[in-house]
Amino acid sequence: MNQRVSIEAESFEIAGGFKISRETRTHAKVVVVTISDGPVSGRGECVPYPRYGESLETVQTQIEEVTPLLKTGLSREALLEAMPAGAARNAVDCALWDLEAKRAGKTASDLAGLGTLHPVTTAFTISVDTPDAMARKTAVAAHRPLLKVKLAGPGDDERIRAVRSAAPSAKLIVDANEAWDESCFDTNMAACAEVGVELIEQPLPAKSDDLLSAFQSPITICADESLSPGKGLDGLRDKYGAVNIKLDKAGGLTEALRLLDAARKADFKVMIGCMLGTSLAMAPAVLIGQTADYVDLDGPLLLSQDRSPGLRFDDSTLYPPEPALWG
């Protein structure tokens, strides 16, 4: 076997920019892996995340290190041992899924034993800003059924009230990206309960989330950064009622499916989330989205221009990928 492997870094402009508590971005920077066997090719995309020490350069280097194994037919199962969890392994794993599906003339969903995929409703993200600016952004998206609101710490009580006033009918979930602390936790939590927020994602820093063990939350709290690459669910159940599974953190669809099964057995609610990437990054996650309680795969909707072909969106309804894209 002599498979061919290519690695490319790409950049996609974000419409209007994207801001969370710890960073602002103008472009989604991704790495795409293509593995070819004769006339058949499989692709996978990942988004390096600085929060976990990743960059375009480190991810490309990791993939280059396993390229000799990929050329000789490294399997998805063997990949789990050959690479650590993280963005680099995700791109390779998803490329192998795509290659395997196209080689077999089946869908990745069939290979995973999931059968026919169905459309899902994705959240739409409102970046953090001043309350007035967030209200204006929300008003444009108020028709969407599920909004994900990025928060930043002190002042989030005013931000979430402003968002609710601009979207009185939408379901709201919020993501603090570790920005809360003891000075604002109670105030922000009370405001979220007041406006009917359904889920609060990672309110406290992962290193400080033991404080949640003694807290009886009126709202489901979801682990994101506390479920870091290569880390399982151990120690999370007494602090969180939900987990955010991201393929870039799990290190691919193979591990994400295992994590989904473990989360269900441990009675967690599940969100399938994403880093900010294109349709190629979202497509494998649609498989997890079939049974997730919350789907947050709006990355392509936030770009000035997605790759083509891309996923089909009808407002917030996300349709399964066509084989020309992935799987």
Q: Do 130 and 246 have their domain in common? A: yes
Name the domain boundary from 78, 105, 132.
105
Rounded Cα gap, residues 168 and 229, in angstroms: 36
Is residue 71 part of the annotated active site? The answer reads no
**Do β-strands 40-46 and 24-37 pair in parallel, antiparallel, or remain unpaired?**
antiparallel
The DSSP output letter for 52 is: G
Name the domain boundary from 71, 105, 139.
105
Residue at 111 is within a domain:
no
Q: What is the pLDDT of residue 319?
A: 98
Summarize pLDDT for 146-189 with one digit per residue, the tens.
999 999 999 999 999 999 999 999 999 999 999 999 999 999 99
Q: Do 214 and 247 have their domain in common? A: yes
Residue 75: HSE in the Cβ half-sphere, 13 Å Cα cutoff: 2
Annotated catalytic residue within 137, 148, 239, 246:
246
Q: Do 96 and 151 have their domain in common? A: no
Q: Do 21 and 91 have their domain in common? A: yes
Rounded Cα gap, residues 160 and 82, in angstroms: 44
CATH classification of the domain holding 243: 3.20.20.120
Q: Do 225 and 248 have their domain in common? A: yes
**Structural contact between residues 130 and 305, judged by C-beta atoms closer than 8 angstroms:** no
Q: Do 154 and 8 have their domain in common? A: no
Summarize pLDDT for 6-64 with one digit per residue, the tens.
999 999 999 887 878 677 788 999 999 999 999 999 999 999 999 899 999 999 999 99
Annotated catalytic residue within 150, 239, 249, 269:
150
Name the domain boundary from 105, 134, 150.
105
Q: What is the pLDDT of residue 21?
A: 64
**Do β-strands 313-314 and 317-318 pair in parallel, antiparallel, or remain unpaired?**
antiparallel
Q: 57-66, 132-141, 206-215, 278-287: which has the minimum mean pLDDT?
A: 206-215
In sequence order, what DSSP letters do the residues of 273-304 get, joined into one string?
A: E--S--HHHHTTHHHHHTT-SEE---GGGGBS
Please report, for residues 33, 38, 126, 205, 268, the alpha-carbon distance to residue 87 in angstroms, rounded to integers and kept in the order given: 11, 26, 24, 21, 24
What's the structural domain count of the chain? Answer: 2
Share of the chain above pLDDT 90, in %: 92
Residue range of the domain that includes 80: 4-105
Q: Which residue has the tokens 């003339």?
A: 105
pTM for this prediction = 0.95
Is residue 150 part of the annotated active site? The answer reads yes
Burial class (CB in 10 A: 0-12, 13-18, 19+), 210: exposed
Q: SS3 for 17?
A: strand
Q: SS3 for 185?
A: helix
> What is the CB neighbour count within 10 angstroms for residue 142?
15
Across all residues in the chain, what is the average pLDDT? 96
